Structure 1
Amino acid sequence: MNIEQLKYMVEIGRAGSLKEAADNLHITLPALSQSITNLEKELNIMIFHRSRRGSVPTEEGHRLINKAASALQKIQEFTDEAEAYTNTMNGEIKIATYPGPMEILVNLVTEIKREYPNIKACVYENSTEYIIDKVLEGEVDVGFITYTEKEEKKYRNLVFKKLLDGHMVVAANKQSPLAQKNLIKEEMLVNQPIVLYNDKYIQEFMTGFNAFPFDILFTTNNVDTIRHTLENNTAINIGFDYAFKTDAGLSRSNEYVVVNFAPPHYKTYSFGYFYNANNGLSRIIREFLSRIHRTLENDNL
């Protein structure tokens, strides 16, 4: 028996099927099935009832899964305790984010590095889909994205923590007629050149309009390009409101304004972070997330 098998047990119990658990764990179905079979042989007990409908824990399996979850938690506590005996924290911070909070995250990483110079840090910026994949693959510890209840239900082995409520807005140069509007209605977007950040939520939001497709000038993953486009009054931008509050390039320009959508297109989203429940969180990551919460609370975002 090994730690990986304990993780496999817990994930199968959570997912309800070997196939879904294998997908969540990013291992092959035969490898997962064989690992659990070997564990059952070693313990001389059946942990799961397997059928076409899924994998359901036996009565004994339920107890063992709960014990396994507790054991994994204790192992994490052991690691944290060992680190606490040193005079400084070690480890690595690997995070990925949607562009909006990049400056905040970089500032916090810099702050922690000053206090704990032995840690290593990697910060990536990309789209929601990319970030989810990297967390699932274990290449990133924590991802910062915009999400809905759909993602929480779809990725059951991911733990989501909300930081802010947000919604879609239109950003327009002050010289644009849209800048004078109190609310943006769908018909106002017709014949307007639009630049979009390349993110699946923004793309899904755009398809919710009856008049779609609009005049999409281009999509980009470069926030500076979006800012230049707005400042030059080349196009309008549709994106998340928090990006214009937290992103350094977008929030510090006085050349454009942000306007809310009128119903039914005023829709709220959650912005926050998520991590893989199978991997847990190291002591340094928990410290980093604690500072994120305090920073956002102090900034009243």
Structure 2
Amino acid sequence: MNIEQIKYILEVTKARSITKAAANLHLSPSAVSQSISQLEKELGITIFNRSRQGTVPTLDGKKIIRIGNEILTKIDELYNEFSTEKKEKSLRVGCAPSLTYIVYDAFLLFNKEYPYVHIEIKEMNIDEMLNAMKDETIDIAFSPFSLEDPATSNVHNFIRFRSLYTGYICVCVSSRSHLYYKNSITLKDLENEKMVMYSSNRSITFNTELFTKVPILFTSNNIEVLRAAIIDGHASCLIYNFTFKNNQDVKNGNLAVIPLKNPEIINHQFWTLIPKSKGISAEAEEFQKKVMFILNES
């Protein structure tokens, strides 16, 4: 038994549903269900009865709930007793522009649980991020880049990498665009379309290698300026499948995010970067979990 399992059991009891409890915990229903099943197997008991009326505790489950509440209460007392300096905690987060919205959504979730942690988020290109990691001016970062790039050949000396997510390239178009209802878009579809692009080495590579026949309206480091140009119908833009994931303009249909049909560039690996000298703090670990939850939620 561990603390997380106790928390899951108490949340399921309150919600009377594993699905609702998982949403409240920002986890998948399968993760919560498997954790509880593992504990049931370990103790040789059944904790919940599942029926159309909901998920309700058994007699054995009620005992665990009672003791679990007592355990968590004592843990909270200990935490409050020895965390007088918790308001001074801070977390410095670096992120690539394509992940800015995701990292901000993760911050909103994180802040609800850890309001005493001061968060500073910096949008950075890869060179800035690697230098900040080396100088220890950020605690954790989220970015896509190739580990085979010669410019990053020595990064393993001072950075630890964790696989975060595999994303793919899409085209973001306005509801005014004739491409809006397509299921996928090819490079040929874009030949007569104007594009706006983010000013990064990766975008420049796309432009040089792929878009020789596509007119570029402008490039910018401001993602909101790019989004405005798309909404107004003046241009389309390459983004990752998650870049505007929770953006209201996508949800209400003003924008569509459509996969780019090109096997050579469709997948890109995203990474969590951690400074080797410091390791990852408990706060950074929790923040990473929130980023992964946002990226993987349906």
Same fold (TM over 0.5): yes
Partner of 1:229: 229
Taking a change above 3 Å as real, the CA distance of residues 168 and 117 of structure 1, as seen in their structure-2 partners, is: closer
Of 86, 93, 96, 1:95 maps to 93
Q: CA RMSD of the aligned region, Å?
A: 3.0
Across the two proteins, how many residue pairs are aligned to each other? 215
In structure 1, what residue type is equivalent to 2:92?
Answer: K
Gaps in structure 1 of 5+ consecutive residues: 1-82
Alignment-derived partner of residue 119 in structure 1: 117
Tell whether the 8 Å contact from 1:230 to 1:236 is kept in structure 2 after alignment.
Answer: yes
Shift of 1:111: 4.8
Contact 2:250–2:257 (CA under 8 A) maintained in structure 1: no
SS in 2 for 1:150: coil
Q: Which residue of 1 aligns with 2:174?
A: 173
1:179-225 Cα offsets, whole Å, 9 max, x none, are 3444333233224211012222222233222x526311111122221
- d(CA) in 2 for partners of 1:231 and 1:106? 22
- Work out whether residues 199 and 221 of structure 2, in 8 Å CA contact, stay in contact via their aligned partners in 1: yes
SS in 1 for 2:180: helix
Are residue 194 (structure 1) and residue 186 (structure 2) matched? no
Structure-to-structure mapping, 1:1-301, within 5 angstroms: 86-87=82-83, 89=86, 90-113=88-111, 115-150=113-148, 155-156=155-156, 157-209=158-210, 212=212, 214-246=214-246, 248=247, 251-297=250-296, 299-300=297-298
CA contact (8 A) 2:95 2:141 kept: yes
Counterpart of 2:234 in 1: which secondary structure? coil
| Alpha-carbon distance in structure 2 between the residues aligned to 1:282 and 1:186 | 43
Shift of residue 106 of structure 1?
3.3
Counterpart AA for 1:202: S
How many Å separate the matches in 1 of 2:291 and 2:181? 35
* SS of residue in 2 equivalent to 1:140: coil
Q: Secondary structure at the match of 1:105?
A: helix
Summarize deviations over 1:30-78 as a string: whole Å, max 9, x none: xxxxxxxxxxxxxxxxxxxxxxxxxxxxxxxxxxxxxxxxxxxxxxxxx
Q: Distance in 1 between matches of 2:168 and 2:249?
A: 16
Q: CA deviation at 1:229?
A: 1.0
For 1:185 and 1:107, how far apart are their aligned partners in 2? 31
Describe the shift of the 1:236–1:116 C-alpha distance in structure 2 as closer, same or farther (beyond 3 A): closer
Change (3 A) 1:295 1:92: same
| Partner secondary structure for residue 179 of structure 1 | coil
Q: CA deviation at 1:295?
A: 4.5
Q: Deviations over 1:227-286 (max 9, x none)?
A: 21111110111122220324x366445123222222344420012321221221222222
**For residue 244 of structure 1, what is the amino acid of its counterpart?**
F
